[in-house]
Amino acid sequence: MYIPDNNKSEDKLKNLLSNSRLEMPFTDFEDKVMANIKKEVQKEKEIDRSLRLSWLFFALGTTFGLLLSIILSPGTTILGIPVDKLAIPAYITGGTLLLLFVEKLLQLTIEQKKDHI
Protein backbone atom coordinates (compact mmCIF):
# COMPACT_ATOMS: atom_id res chain seq x y z
CA MET A 1 0.00 0.00 0.00
CA TYR A 2 1.33 3.43 -1.07
CA ILE A 3 1.08 6.40 1.34
CA PRO A 4 1.79 9.71 -0.38
CA ASP A 5 4.24 12.07 1.28
CA ASN A 6 2.28 15.20 2.19
CA ASN A 7 5.39 17.35 2.52
CA LYS A 8 6.42 16.71 -1.09
CA SER A 9 2.88 17.45 -2.31
CA GLU A 10 2.78 20.69 -0.37
CA ASP A 11 6.20 21.71 -1.71
CA LYS A 12 5.07 21.05 -5.27
CA LEU A 13 1.87 23.05 -4.69
CA LYS A 14 3.82 25.98 -3.22
CA ASN A 15 6.23 25.88 -6.15
CA LEU A 16 3.38 25.88 -8.68
CA LEU A 17 1.57 28.73 -6.92
CA SER A 18 4.73 30.84 -6.68
CA ASN A 19 5.27 30.45 -10.43
CA SER A 20 1.73 31.58 -11.19
CA ARG A 21 2.20 35.04 -9.66
CA LEU A 22 1.40 37.76 -12.16
CA GLU A 23 3.87 40.57 -12.52
CA MET A 24 2.54 43.96 -13.61
CA PRO A 25 4.25 45.43 -16.66
CA PHE A 26 4.87 48.80 -15.00
CA THR A 27 4.95 49.88 -11.38
CA ASP A 28 2.45 52.69 -11.92
CA PHE A 29 0.10 50.67 -14.13
CA GLU A 30 -2.63 50.41 -11.49
CA ASP A 31 -2.43 54.14 -10.74
CA LYS A 32 -2.83 54.99 -14.42
CA VAL A 33 -5.82 52.68 -14.80
CA MET A 34 -7.51 54.15 -11.73
CA ALA A 35 -6.83 57.70 -12.97
CA ASN A 36 -8.41 56.83 -16.34
CA ILE A 37 -11.46 55.39 -14.58
CA LYS A 38 -11.84 58.57 -12.51
CA LYS A 39 -11.59 60.69 -15.67
CA GLU A 40 -14.32 58.62 -17.35
CA VAL A 41 -16.61 58.95 -14.31
CA GLN A 42 -16.04 62.72 -14.24
CA LYS A 43 -16.75 62.95 -17.96
CA GLU A 44 -20.03 61.05 -17.51
CA LYS A 45 -21.08 63.44 -14.73
CA GLU A 46 -20.32 66.44 -16.96
CA ILE A 47 -22.35 64.96 -19.81
CA ASP A 48 -25.32 64.31 -17.49
CA ARG A 49 -25.14 67.89 -16.16
CA SER A 50 -24.93 69.35 -19.68
CA LEU A 51 -27.90 67.27 -20.82
CA ARG A 52 -30.03 68.45 -17.89
CA LEU A 53 -29.07 72.07 -18.59
CA SER A 54 -29.95 71.57 -22.26
CA TRP A 55 -33.46 70.43 -21.34
CA LEU A 56 -33.83 73.33 -18.89
CA PHE A 57 -32.81 76.01 -21.39
CA PHE A 58 -34.87 74.37 -24.13
CA ALA A 59 -37.95 74.60 -21.90
CA LEU A 60 -37.15 78.21 -20.94
CA GLY A 61 -36.60 79.21 -24.57
CA THR A 62 -39.80 77.53 -25.71
CA THR A 63 -41.77 79.24 -22.94
CA PHE A 64 -40.23 82.61 -23.79
CA GLY A 65 -41.05 82.14 -27.48
CA LEU A 66 -44.66 81.23 -26.73
CA LEU A 67 -45.07 84.21 -24.41
CA LEU A 68 -43.52 86.50 -27.01
CA SER A 69 -45.92 85.25 -29.68
CA ILE A 70 -48.87 85.87 -27.33
CA ILE A 71 -47.66 89.32 -26.31
CA LEU A 72 -47.23 90.51 -29.88
CA SER A 73 -50.81 91.28 -30.71
CA PRO A 74 -52.03 91.44 -34.33
CA GLY A 75 -51.93 95.27 -34.40
CA THR A 76 -48.23 95.51 -33.59
CA THR A 77 -45.57 96.30 -36.17
CA ILE A 78 -41.89 95.30 -36.22
CA LEU A 79 -39.63 97.58 -38.32
CA GLY A 80 -42.72 98.89 -40.05
CA ILE A 81 -43.95 95.41 -41.01
CA PRO A 82 -47.24 94.25 -39.46
CA VAL A 83 -46.95 91.18 -37.23
CA ASP A 84 -49.76 89.53 -39.18
CA LYS A 85 -47.47 89.26 -42.23
CA LEU A 86 -44.59 87.84 -40.15
CA ALA A 87 -46.60 85.33 -38.14
CA ILE A 88 -46.81 82.45 -40.63
CA PRO A 89 -43.08 82.37 -41.59
CA ALA A 90 -42.12 82.79 -37.92
CA TYR A 91 -44.39 79.94 -36.82
CA ILE A 92 -43.11 77.64 -39.58
CA THR A 93 -39.48 78.42 -38.74
CA GLY A 94 -40.06 78.18 -34.98
CA GLY A 95 -42.01 74.94 -35.26
CA THR A 96 -39.37 73.34 -37.46
CA LEU A 97 -36.57 74.36 -35.09
CA LEU A 98 -38.61 73.18 -32.11
CA LEU A 99 -39.08 69.72 -33.64
CA LEU A 100 -35.40 69.45 -34.60
CA PHE A 101 -34.24 70.41 -31.11
CA VAL A 102 -36.67 68.02 -29.42
CA GLU A 103 -35.54 65.18 -31.69
CA LYS A 104 -31.85 65.84 -30.98
CA LEU A 105 -32.35 66.17 -27.21
CA LEU A 106 -34.38 62.96 -27.08
CA GLN A 107 -31.74 61.15 -29.13
CA LEU A 108 -28.96 62.35 -26.80
CA THR A 109 -30.96 61.44 -23.69
CA ILE A 110 -31.70 57.92 -24.96
CA GLU A 111 -28.05 57.35 -25.94
CA GLN A 112 -26.88 58.57 -22.53
CA LYS A 113 -29.27 56.24 -20.71
CA LYS A 114 -28.11 53.30 -22.85
CA ASP A 115 -24.50 54.06 -21.90
CA HIS A 116 -25.40 53.96 -18.19
CA ILE A 117 -26.88 50.48 -18.42
Of the candidates 67, 45, 59, which has an alpha carbon nearest to the alpha carbon of residue 112? 45
Residue 3 domain-assigned? no
How many structural domains comprise the chain? Answer: 1
Residue 62 domain-assigned? yes
Contact predicate 101/61, CB 8 Å: no
Residue 19 domain-assigned? no
Predicted pLDDT at 91: 83
Per-residue pLDDT of the chain (117 residues; tens, 9 = 90+): 455 556 777 777 777 777 666 666 667 878 888 889 999 889 888 988 999 999 999 999 989 888 887 777 667 777 777 777 777 888 888 889 999 999 999 998 898 888 776
CA distance 26 to 98: 53
CA distance 39 to 116: 16
Predicted pLDDT at 59: 92
* Phi, psi angles (nearest 5°) of residue 94: -65, -40
* Phi, psi angles (nearest 5°) of residue 22: -95, 125
Residue 24 domain-assigned? no
Predicted pLDDT at 44: 87
Contact predicate 90/100, CB 8 Å: no
Residue 53 domain-assigned? yes
- The helix (run of H) or strand (run of E) holding residue 82 is strand 81-82
Residue 47 domain-assigned? yes
